[in-house]
């Protein structure tokens, strides 16, 4: 099982399956089927079986999937059975909302440092965090071994900050700024751009 051989489109669906399974587990379910899971996530049962088959045998014909087992395997496959440290850059309103969001730690991630370039913000506290100077990002992130970052800076600052993150050894960037980032091949970027989701839905709307 060489993870690099699995198409990224399949990888992209695994977190969605995991979220739905964890929700089922929280509501007291212990088994499910590809049909039921498919209805929850809007993906066909056949596609789910095909996706999961890339990683081994998880279900039995007729008895379906054991939810806790499938959750454990997906956590391992996605490498989120551990907690990854994440740096947050850009402490505007969105940065504050993200910093206070409670949903990271029980899903594999915790914010461990936050940065801004505004002298009025640097050194101030937000909950347990002290906002650090973005100019100290490279040595600090590198020495802490942080591999992931969330980017909430204005569009104009996104690429320069990305360059710092790359220099610091970050390999995964969740980008909230509405611009495409240039990164080396060994660095991945995921975009959180609400307009992309809105435009994708507008396509299906009938005009009024």
Q: Pairing state of beta strands 148-151 and 31-32?
A: unpaired
| Residue 31 Cβ vs a copy of itself, minimum distance, rounded to whole Å | 18
Comparing CB distances to a copy of itself, the nearer of 69 and 101 is: 101
- Rounded to the nearest 10 degrees, the angle between the axes of helix 67-77 and helix 8-26 is 140
Comparing CB distances to a copy of itself, the nearer of 26 and 57 is: 26
| Residue 61 Cβ vs a copy of itself, minimum distance, rounded to whole Å | 26
Comparing CB distances to a copy of itself, the nearer of 61 and 112 is: 112
Residues of this chain that interact with a copy of itself (CB under 8 A) are 3, 11-12, 14-16, 18-20, 23, 40-41, 77-80, 82, 84, 86, 92-94, 96-98, 100-101, 103-104, 107-109, 145, 147-148, 150, 171-174, 178-180, 188, 190-205, 207-208
Comparing CB distances to a copy of itself, the nearer of 135 and 202 is: 202
Strand order in the sheet with 31-32: 31-32, 64-66, 59-60
Q: Please tell me the distance from the alpha carbon of residue 168 to that of residue 146, in angstroms, as a whole number.
A: 8
| Residue 63 Cβ vs a copy of itself, minimum distance, rounded to whole Å | 24
| Residue 96 Cβ vs a copy of itself, minimum distance, rounded to whole Å | 6
| Residue 36 Cβ vs a copy of itself, minimum distance, rounded to whole Å | 12
Comparing CB distances to a copy of itself, the nearer of 126 and 138 is: 126
Contacts of 60 (CB under 8 A, 6+ apart): none
Reduced to 3 states, what is the DSSP secondary structure of residue 52?
A: helix
What is the Cα Rg of the chain in Å?
20
Reduced to 3 states, what is the DSSP secondary structure of residue 32?
A: strand
Facing residues of 109 across strands? Answer: 84
Q: Please tell me the distance from the alpha carbon of residue 42 to that of residue 173, in angstroms, as a whole number.
A: 27
């Amino acid at each position: 099982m060489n993870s690099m051989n699995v198409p990224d489109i399949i990888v992209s669906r695994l977190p969605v399956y995991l979220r739905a399974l964890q929700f089922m587990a929280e509501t007291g379910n212990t088994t499910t089927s590809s049909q039921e899971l498919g209805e929850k996530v809007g993906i066909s049962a056949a596609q789910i079986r095909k996706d999961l088959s890339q990683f081994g045998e998880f279900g039995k014909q007729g008895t379906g999937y054991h939810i806790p087992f499938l959750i454990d395997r997906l956590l391992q496959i996605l490498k989120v059975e551990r907690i990854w440290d994440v740096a947050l850059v850009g402490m505007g309103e969105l940065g504050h909302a993200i910093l206070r969001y409670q949903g990271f730690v029980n899903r594999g991630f915790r914010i461990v440092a936050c940065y801004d370039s505004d002298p009025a913000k640097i050194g101030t506290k937000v909950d347990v965090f002290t906002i650090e100077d973005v100019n100290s990002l490279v040595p600090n992130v590198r020495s802490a071994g942080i591999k992931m970052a969330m980017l909430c800076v204005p569009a104009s600052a996104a690429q320069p900050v990305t360059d710092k993150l790359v220099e610091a050894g970050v390999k995964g960037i969740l980008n909230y700024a509405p611009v495409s980032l240039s990164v080396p091949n060994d660095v991945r970027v995921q975009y959180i751009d609400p307009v992309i989701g809105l435009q994708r839905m507008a396509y299906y709307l009938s005009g009024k």
